[in-house]
Amino acid sequence: MDEFLEVGQTWYVLDYKWYESWKDYSNYADSASNFGKDDPGVIDNSQLLEEDGSLKEKIVEDINFATVPERVWHMFVKCYGLANGQEPIPRPVIKMGTFTKVTKIELYPLPLLLAHYKHPTDGKLERCSVAMTIGELKVKMRKLYKIVEEAEVKLVGSYTSAEYDKLDDDSLTLEEANLQPRQFVVIIQKDGAIWPKLDTYKKTTASCFTSSTKASTNGTSAKSYSSSNGFSSSYSNGSLSSSSFFSSSSEKAGAPGLCGLRNLGNTCFMNSSLQCLSNVPTLTKFFLGDAWKKDLNSKNPLGMKGEIAETYADLMKAMWSGKNSSVAPKYFKGAVGRFAPRFSGYQQQDSHELMAFLLDGLHEDLNRIKKKPYVEVKSTDGKTDEEAANQAWQDYLARNDSIIVDLFHGQLKSTVRCPDCKNESKTFDPFCYLSLPIPPKKTKKLKVFFVSRDLGQLPVKCRVKVPADGSIADLCKSVADKFDVSANKLVAAELYNSRFQKIYKDQDSVRGIQDRDELYVYEVDEAEGQMPVVVYFKETPTKSYQAARNLCIPSIISVPVDVTYDDLYDIINSRQRLVNSEEAMAYLSNNHNADIDQRNGLQHHLNGVDIVDKDMGGDVDRDMGGDVGSEKEEPMDICSSPKATDQPQIFDITLVSQYGYSQSNGLPYTGSLGLKPLNYLAVEFDKGLNVVRADDAFDVKEDDSLYDSQSEPGVTLEDCVQLFATEEELGKHDTWYCPVCKDHVQAFKQFALWKLPKYLVIQLKRYKSSMSSYSYYRDKVDTLVKYPVKNLDLTPRVIGSQTNSKYLYDLVSVSNHFGGLGGGHYTAYARNHDLDQWYYFDDSSVSAAAENSVVNKSGYLLVYERHE
């Protein structure tokens, strides 16, 4: 929606695929595929919600969900309705950040466990906006615990049982007070003229953490904490030192550096980055001592007032003290959120973006240049590469001099060449990390559900290999080859929530198909005079205001072009397995008083009926048909009259939209129905019938290809460096002005490594965007990149004139990302320098790891250390 956010507004969260369907239907987005679209039907947010109705964690905007302003939401609900049993998902627009403020939608309100000091085990989970003030929280807790306004109260915050914070500044927001998810806030009431003693606070907080309170931020049970540690004496002066917060958990403390980081609410990305940098020996040694304090530059206008450096130093001391098995990086996260609001809140973020921000923040907080001089960019005309590179480096050091520059900064040579006059422009730029592209795969494996025309076979879930830039026709050919069927008889579709989301045509590209998509390939009969139609199987609701519920995956069946209602009923009834013969006979007998002959006819008709074709769907740009009539048995007498409604039936048939929602009052009972290929039909079983439940109706067979253990060839890190250094042509919208031709041209650009740092940070570009002729795709590259653990030799790649320099590197740490764009989880591998052993860090958990496990398909961010 093209509308600006304003503080105080309410926006609403809705399913992204529903929103995309609505855009297609309304032509909101320009797309060549908008033809023939049905309305999107009722809004169904079930894929965004946990069982308790709360919003799922680790969902991503424009992949899993979209947001719309309040007026648009009400318009949507008025026009399309909201799925039964679901509540709207409103979210406020607030200001976030302290020094740098941004306006954003607060997707996840802060879950706090509120307690009264006299009733510590009776904690109540409340979700509060981080824009709420401490004063407003105090008022809320007064009402919650029925404390009169005249009574004097104070709030105490506690994240572990070992320490607590006084929350005595009513003007601070919850974000500014640095409250964290699942943190206890205890309200303390003055008893006459006396405040309860310190021991009372201790017992209250300890009781809170040892209680088995079941609570959740978004449907996940909160952990129960226990500790024998006492309270910090720092309470007496009204403040809490950051080091006291990093108390040991009840688990046995490990060696220095073998310290987990607690997840504060979707902060695995931050924990992964921190573990990677924590195991950079030179940097950590610098912060464990006091040398960093000499470089602290709290007045740097480009810095973070020294807070990033200070909280990072405290965190490193806690992690390397050898006293803690895990710590909560609460104060560090608070500092990061104040200066970079995109990292505030509790949405999943990117570990590389966090590390880039952290390295830049540490650099500016520790910049030894107290007053940056103005440096004029000098011409490189007539200078050799060595002279130009050295001049550029000295100019950079005149404004930037820190431990981060010493350890992590290198220099790149960038050459831009005019394709017409061959004029070249050369620049030498500093870098803190390298973002390396991953060579594209020639093929990709897609997960599909194949549904055979043979009613005796279950749908098969499998993987097939297709060209990476192939089409749906290529996909159908691969499926046809695997199952020995005709590719011309295959139909492909994407289903979502048991509804058709996208109807594919042969020429559609497979590039936009992702592993999370439900891709079905269905075999359709092909015979003259036949056509395919789509059938939804539904249960008639028990309440008039309810919508019919899908009983299984919709099917595609072939019917005669001039099919009548009676024939259509017989064909569908012969292919359904949701109601067995005994149930149908009993139902018809009890509800319609059918005579014994009719029941015998029904028994004859239903005997031997096989599985329903349930996991099906599709649309193709070709003529298709099927010879259902040649396989069906004689229709039973009960349905053979010219007017089916005169006889008892177990279901009704209606025309519906693409998404399975009703759009007509039914079909004519006499004459040809006038159906067209791939019309959508709904079969609604009478509500008194006993139908097969979901577990049986959704049965599939899993093919061995899903678990193919054959290792992919993958690519090497050298391949990635080679691609990074390959000359490429700039895009049409990224032209360069050639001073010789005096025109903007599509120039050629090339990077080369000129100078490399002691510690080299490499990001593998696993997230990509691409455009087809009418669609925009975002996807994750899951190619295995084989990066060396020892002796990465970049010497041949460095073109600077440093004589006799060797650039040999050993791997220090790896940030891993598991999952796709729509969520996922971050962990880290790191080598403990003192123990010379690899370890695996997964939030609070730390375990020893084998060196050969470090190289894996999830490797995303690499940190290398240069040999001395």
Q: Which amino acids are annotated catalytic?
A: 268, 825
Measured CA to CA, the distance from residue 158 to residue 113 in angstroms comes to 10
CA angle 383, 386, 390 (to 5 degrees): 95
Do 48 and 87 meet the contact criterion of CB atoms below 8 Å apart? no
Check residue 148 and give left, alpha or beta (phi > 0: left; psi -120 to 50: alpha): beta
Amino acid occupying residue 12:
Y
CA angle 636, 642, 646 (to 5 degrees): 80
Q: What is the DSSP letter of 854?
A: S
Alpha helices in 100-172 (DSSP H): 134-144
Q: What is the DSSP letter of 506?
A: T
Do 620 and 504 meet the contact criterion of CB atoms below 8 Å apart? yes
Where is 716: in which H helix or E strand?
strand 715-716
Q: Would you say the C-alpha torsion 380, 386, 387, 390 has a positive or negative sign?
A: positive
Do 510 and 543 meet the contact criterion of CB atoms below 8 Å apart? no
**Interacting residues of 372 by C-beta distance below 8 A, sequence separation 6+:** 398, 399
143-157: buried (b, 16+ CB within 10 Å) or exposed (e) per residue? eebebeeeeebebbb
The partner residues of 654 in beta bridges, in order of sequence, read 682
Gyration radius (Cα) of the chain, Å: 33
| Helix, strand and coil percent figures for the chain, each rounded to 5 | 25, 30, 45
Measured CA to CA, the distance from residue 244 to residue 208 in angstroms comes to 19
Q: Copy the structure tokens of residue 524.
A: 């359709």
Largest CA distance in the chain: 105
Measured CA to CA, the distance from residue 781 to residue 658 in angstroms comes to 32
Where is 838: in which H helix or E strand?
strand 837-842
Nearest Cα residue to 857 out of 721, 713, 751: 713
Distance, CA of 763 to chain centre: 19
Q: Look-up: residue for tokens 């099917």?
A: 555
Nearest Cα residue to 588 out of 627, 547, 548, 637: 637
Burial class (CB in 10 A: 0-12, 13-18, 19+), 439: middle
Total count of residues recorded for the chain: 868
Measured CA to CA, the distance from residue 729 to residue 735 in angstroms comes to 9
